[in-house]
């Protein structure tokens, strides 16, 4: 099993009904008393996120109609079912990689012989050292760019592919030094080639990324500067690492670190509503807002509002668990701005009542519509995420619609689907 597959499969979400002021998650139990958590409330890093199922799996197929013919196996243990789900997902993952490479080459699957496709799938397991694949249909070549230093074992195994002929096609491996993707993006943005950046600078950038919280990199070839944008942190070690990089000179290039306050999405919305930019809000105010969100227990924040003329920041909350925390924020002045906390008991009661209704109605909706193949819900005041076991025309039709004054977003996890297929093969469903 490849590392990406293991990482993706390992990401699970607990089962149950969770209700809180800011968000609601409603999940369902597995059949036959299985206690393994369903995977569906998150899309783990590296998993396919396109609306189409990976490989050749149709939206309307049942698990037994998938792209891979497998015998039905009964009396499988939970561990065996889990391992089978990993195998199924690995097959999908490989298929999608091939599809992506073909798309980048502007080729259709029919233009690549089936035996070449299968050989290409075999190389996906070495993707931890592969930067990219390229097709040369004129010369009938599959070109693989890889960095040998990342995994010596995979280097040896991939080296065997060098010069391999499959039909009329030849596999060619081009070995190159490892360059992090963020370095390549910065080079592209600066219209620079890899050779224009000294090796010592590339190496230092690789070390600098370890300070964490890095949002963006910029290269200024005219002034020989590397600009690192990172967020402020309360961690003393992080700040020490930032200062150690600040002004460092490497091979005639200077490293500059620009620290920024992290702006939450709800704060950005409030800034837009007030026709303000983040730069118009003093750093001290941004810092205080971070303190309020992370430290003060003033209840779930419903929204922020800014009044730049009177320099007021208003926080509307659903409920107040700790009065002292509210009093500490209420009327506080920071950099000429005044903080105000608004808590309306009627709003709180209305929200709690509505939340209970949403829970009941979502559960009823799931029960009444088995054809939608819903596994779980997650809702906020503005959005309902609906996780489904399989994409179908029926549940896809819900995407973007409105339920309970919230926008519905259909979510599908191929990991969840792989687990379901494995259960069907084992006769569990």
Contact in structure between 401 and 416 (CB atoms under 8 Å): no
Structural domain ending residue among the three candidates 260, 291, 306: 260
Residue 244 lies in a domain: yes
Predicted confidence pLDDT, tens digits, the chain (429 residues): 444 444 333 333 322 333 333 444 444 333 333 332 332 333 223 333 333 333 333 333 333 333 444 444 456 788 888 888 888 877 877 888 888 888 888 888 888 899 999 999 889 888 888 988 998 888 999 999 998 877 888 899 999 999 999 999 999 999 988 888 888 889 999 999 988 999 899 888 888 877 777 888 999 999 999 999 888 776 788 888 889 999 999 999 999 999 887 777 778 888 999 999 888 999 899 888 888 877 655 556 778 899 999 999 998 887 666 666 778 888 999 999 999 988 877 766 777 788 788 888 999 999 999 999 888 888 776 688 888 877 788 888 898 888 887 888 888 777 767 777 787 777 775
The pLDDT value recorded for residue 66 is 38
CB burial of residue 47 (10 Å; 0-12, 13-18, 19+): buried
Domain count, the chain: 2
The pLDDT value recorded for residue 278 is 86
- 202: domain CATH number is 3.30.70
Residue 282 lies in a domain: yes
In this structure, the answer to whether residues 254 and 269 fall within a common structural domain is: no
Contact in structure between 424 and 63 (CB atoms under 8 Å): yes
Q: What is the DSSP string of 277-317?
A: -GGGS-HHHHHHHHHHHHT-----EEEEEEETTTTEEEEEE
Instruction: Report the length, in residues, of the chain.
Output: 429
Q: How far is CA 129 from CA 45, 108, 150, in A?
A: 18, 26, 6
In this structure, the answer to whether residues 272 and 317 fall within a common structural domain is: yes
Please tell me whether residue 190 adopts helix, strand or coil conformation: coil
In this structure, the answer to whether residues 298 and 233 fall within a common structural domain is: no
Residue 272 lies in a domain: yes
The pLDDT value recorded for residue 187 is 92
What are 174's strand-pairing partners?
145
The pLDDT value recorded for residue 51 is 35
Residue 370 lies in a domain: no
In this structure, the answer to whether residues 271 and 330 fall within a common structural domain is: yes
The pLDDT value recorded for residue 297 is 57
Q: Which residue has the tokens 């075999």?
A: 122
What's the count of helices (H) and strands (E) in the chain, helices before strands? 13, 18
In this structure, the answer to whether residues 282 and 339 fall within a common structural domain is: yes
Tokens of 395: 């549940």
Residue 216 lies in a domain: yes
Structural domain ending residue among the three candidates 317, 347, 377: 347
Taking the C-alpha atoms of residue 276 and residue 268, their distance in angstroms, rounded to an integer, is 9
Please tell me whether residue 355 adopts helix, strand or coil conformation: helix
**Residue 254 belongs to domain spanning:** 184-260
């Amino acid at each position: 099993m490849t590392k990406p597959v293991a990482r993706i499969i390992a990401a699970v979400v607990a089962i149950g009904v969770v209700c809180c002021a800011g968000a609601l998650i409603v999940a369902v139990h597995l059949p036959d008393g299985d206690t393994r958590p369903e995977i569906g409330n998150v899309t783990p890093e590296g998993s396919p996120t396109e609306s189409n199922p990976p490989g050749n799996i149709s939206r309307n197929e049942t698990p037994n109609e998938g792209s891979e013919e497998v015998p039905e196996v009964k009396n499988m243990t939970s561990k065996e079912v889990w391992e089978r789900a990993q195998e199924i997902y690995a097959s999908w993952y490989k298929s999608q990689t091939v599809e992506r490479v073909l798309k980048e080459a502007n080729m259709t699957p029919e233009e690549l012989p089936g035996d070449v496709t299968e050989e290409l799938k075999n190389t996906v397991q070495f993707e931890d050292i592969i930067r990219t694949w390229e097709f040369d249909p004129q010369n009938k070549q599959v070109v693989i760019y890889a960095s040998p230093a990342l995994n010596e074992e995979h280097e040896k195994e991939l080296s065997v592919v060098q010069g391999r002929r499959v039909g009329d096609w030849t596999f060619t491996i081009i070995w190159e030094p490892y360059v992090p993707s963020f370095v390549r993006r910065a080079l592209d943005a600066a219209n620079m080639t890899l050779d224009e950046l000294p090796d010592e600078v590339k190496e230092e950038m690789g070390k600098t990324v370890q300070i964490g919280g890095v949002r963006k990199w910029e290269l200024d070839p005219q002034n020989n500067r590397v600009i690192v944008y990172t967020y402020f942190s309360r961690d003393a070690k992080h700040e020490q690492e930032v200062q150690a990089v600040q002004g460092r000179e490497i091979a005639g290039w200077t490293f500059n670190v620009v620290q920024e306050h992290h702006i939450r999405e709800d704060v950005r919305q409030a800034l837009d509503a007030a026709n303000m930019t983040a730069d118009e809000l003093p750093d001290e105010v941004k810092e205080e807002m971070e303190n309020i969100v992370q430290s003060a227990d003033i209840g779930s924040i419903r929204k922020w509002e800014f009044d730049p003329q009177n320099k007021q920041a208003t926080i509307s909350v659903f409920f107040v668990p700790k009065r002292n925390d509210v009093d500490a924020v209420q009327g506080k002045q920071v950099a000429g701005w005044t903080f105000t906390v608004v808590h309306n008991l009627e709003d709180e009661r209305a929200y709690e009542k509505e939340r209970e209704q949403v829970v009941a109605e979502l559960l009823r909706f799931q029960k009444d519509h088995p054809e939608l193949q819903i596994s779980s819900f997650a809702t906020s005041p503005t959005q309902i995420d609906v996780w489904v076991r399989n994409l179908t025309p029926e549940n896809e039709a819900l995407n973007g619609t409105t339920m309970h004054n919230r926008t519905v977003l259909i979510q599908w996890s191929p990991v969840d689907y792989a687990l379901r297929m494995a259960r069907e093969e084992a006769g569990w469903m």
